[in-house]
Amino acid sequence: MNFTEAPDNNKHGASRAHTSRPQPRLEEPDLRRIYRKLQLIRRAEEEVARIYPSDKIKSPVHLSIGQEAVTVGVCYALRDDDVVSATYRSHAAYIARGGELPALFAEMYGKDTGCCRGKGGSMHVAASDCFLLGTSAVVGTTIPVAVGYAMALKWEGKGRLAVSFFGDGATEEGVFSESLNFAALHKLPVLFVCENNGYAIHTPLSKRWATPRLCERVATYGIPARQITDGDVLSIWRSASEAYDSIRQGGGPVFIECHTYRWKEHVGPGEDYNAGYRTRDELRPWIEHDQVPIIGRTLDADVKLAIDAEIERTIASAVEFAENSPFPDPKELYTDVYA
């Protein structure tokens, strides 16, 4: 893990955007819980990929298979009342925050029992009961939403914070820089998490960024920036935990760039290694370092089997719930429409 310190351009003796504080000793995480979240996201999305060709799922799906460690590591260390803002690749954040799986599948089926009454689909899930803000298909748009919520949380004064997830492509939107500047200026309680999978749809970083030194760019706003390149869920958890401690003590925003890799195509359940823009050779090291089996191997075999069996029952029940739920009444088209 690399850490880029915010530059000290203050010539008048005021406090820096980041100061060195003694870090509290972290309690070791419950690896059973971490494994369950990783495996639940993986298996739920594999089930989505299996069902999708049947046309029962009524919206496009952007799968996080291969990227689960980022969301799980970041969300594991959160308080229950912290707020998360995610992207259209939304299933992982929903599950990591404790969203109900039956409501997620029902939402993808377009059913009235979905978490958004069937109106949001895969790309626009929200769950107020676990403080997951509505996700959006428009790249970068949830970043300022998280910053605005962070300002409200600062005024509230209860030590809560916001987390903003976004992809590397979103860092090229103007609102990214505007949000960093505003958050740093007002020392807002927000963690920015870039899930850098190396591609904006089909275009690699090498064709989009003049330099890959994203953390250096972020540090110029006075924001401490950390980079994690190996996708290790425990490294991500530790970095997030340290960031939360700093943020809750009034240190202002923190930025973490997590290198990761999506195993499936940009949108849809299939693979795209024959599409000409990437090769399976890129995937191999990420499979070898896949956090799902790695964390699974730390558990006793009977414990892992019990968790796996419980997850399969949970997913089967969620699918059955979605299959048997009703579609919304047509009159619901006018509910929550204000103009």
- Predicted confidence pLDDT, tens digits, the chain (339 residues): 444 554 443 333 333 333 344 455 678 899 999 999 999 999 999 999 999 999 999 889 999 999 999 999 999 999 999 999 999 999 999 999 999 999 999 999 999 999 999 999 999 999 999 999 989 999 999 999 999 999 999 999 999 999 999 999 999 999 999 999 999 999 999 999 999 999 999 999 999 999 999 999 999 999 999 999 999 999 999 999 999 999 999 999 999 999 999 999 999 999 999 999 999 999 999 999 999 999 999 999 999 999 999 999 999 999 999 999 999 999 998 888 887
Whole-angstrom distance, CA of residue 179 vs CA of residue 190: 11
HEC readout, 265-301: CCCCCCCCCCCCCCCHHHHHHHHHCCHHHHHHCCCCH
Q: Minimal CA–CA distance to 193: which of 72, 307, 41?
A: 72
Q: Minimal CA–CA distance to 79: which of 187, 163, 180, 192?
A: 163
User: 258 with 234: CB under 8 angstroms?
Assistant: no
Domain extents for the chain?
30-324
Please identify, in words, the CATH class of the domain defined by 30-324.
alpha beta
User: 271 with 56: CB under 8 angstroms?
Assistant: no
Q: At what angle are helices 68-76 and 233-248 packed, to 10 degrees? A: 40
* Confidence (pTM): 0.91
Whole-angstrom distance, CA of residue 50 vs CA of residue 63: 12
Whole-angstrom distance, CA of residue 78 vs CA of residue 208: 33
Radius of gyration from C-alpha coordinates of the chain? 20
